[in-house]
Amino acid sequence: MLKFFPDTPPRFDIALRDAKSKTARTRALAAQSLANPPDGMRGAAVEALRPLLSDEDVTVRYTALASLGEFDDVESLPQILAFMNDKAQPLRELAVVVASHFDDDRAHEAILNALDSEHPEMRFQAIVTLAETKNPAAIERIAPKLKDEDAHVRAQAALALAKFGDASSAGALMTLLESREHAADAACALGELHVQEAKPRLVELAERTFAPLEVRAAAAAALIQLGDARGNEVLRSILIGWRASARSYAAQLTGKVGATALVPDLATLIDKPRGADPLVVVQALVRLARKDESAQTLVTKLGRRTDEIGRVARTTHFDDE
């Protein structure tokens, strides 16, 4: 069983020594520290970590694997891939994540093969990893998992396909709107795919008073993407309402879906955030400034500030710009 130690990891020079300690806890802490070598010490860190992949203690092996993931050490790749068949579930899952760091055909093939693993958590993690790569070639391998025997795998497959812009997952996403765990993500995905058939259900979710605020916000954002102005009013109610739990999330979605009608509501949250993260609000305004003059004026004004809000206003950029 994995055991995590609260102690502070040692300095790098001490970690090099402690990697050979007789105490498992000491070796695990050393492996954690070795993930962040000082300049010029990368090679020493990798050399110290490699033997720990074969350590007798599972926590040491896990920590060494996580740390080696920071270095893309090709020499360790065969051993990293072997962990996908380890008897310890956390090691199997971590191996998939670490393998995704490598631009290597062996790693790519191993991740694809994990889609057919007997272990549902491996299939799940492989789908998550492939979705992050956004390699269109993965679509045909993920699509069959919409019918996986495991509900979590099916849900992740639907969300992953939506990330690729594949509308074949629309039916599965509609089903996920009934899931408390996945409803918000499914609503966002349906909006991004512009699934008009989802509009009645999204209206119902957005306007349901006692639904989780995150779900209502996501449904409202999806409605805006579908051209339904009712989404603006729901997002506004969350931005200015008395419950603060989803205020930052609503602000983030406001910027993401380009809800320029809500610029005045975001502006009031800069100096009176009422539980919202002001930096998230600024980032939303930066997005909206691309299409709204009032948001552009406000961002320019905020950029003159000398605090963190000013820095974010001056420096924030998005990949879709």
Three-state SS for the chain is CCCCCCCCCCCHHHHHHHCCCCCHHHHHHHHHHCCCCCCCCHHHHHHHHHHHHHCCCHHHHHHHHHHHCCCCCHHHHHHHHHHHHCCCHHHHHHHHHHHCCCCCHHHHHHHHHHCCCCCHHHHHHHHHHHHHHCCHHHHHHHHHHHHCCCHHHHHHHHHHHHHCCCHHHHHHHHHHCCCCCCHHHHHHHHHHCCCHHHHHHHHHHHCCCCCCHHHHHHHHHHHHHCCCCHHHHHHHHHHHCCCCCCHHHHHHHHHHCCCHHHHHHHHHHHHCCCCCCHHHHHHHHHHHCCCCHHHHHHHHHHCCCCCHHHHHHHHCCCCCC
Is residue 4's pLDDT more than 60?
Answer: no
Reported as a single tens digit per residue, the pLDDT across 36-52 is 999 999 999 999 999 99
Please state, for a pLDDT cut of 90, what percent of the chain lies above it.
91
Mean pLDDT over each residue of the chain, to the nearest integer: 94
**Residue 160 pLDDT more than 80?**
yes
pLDDT, position 104: 93
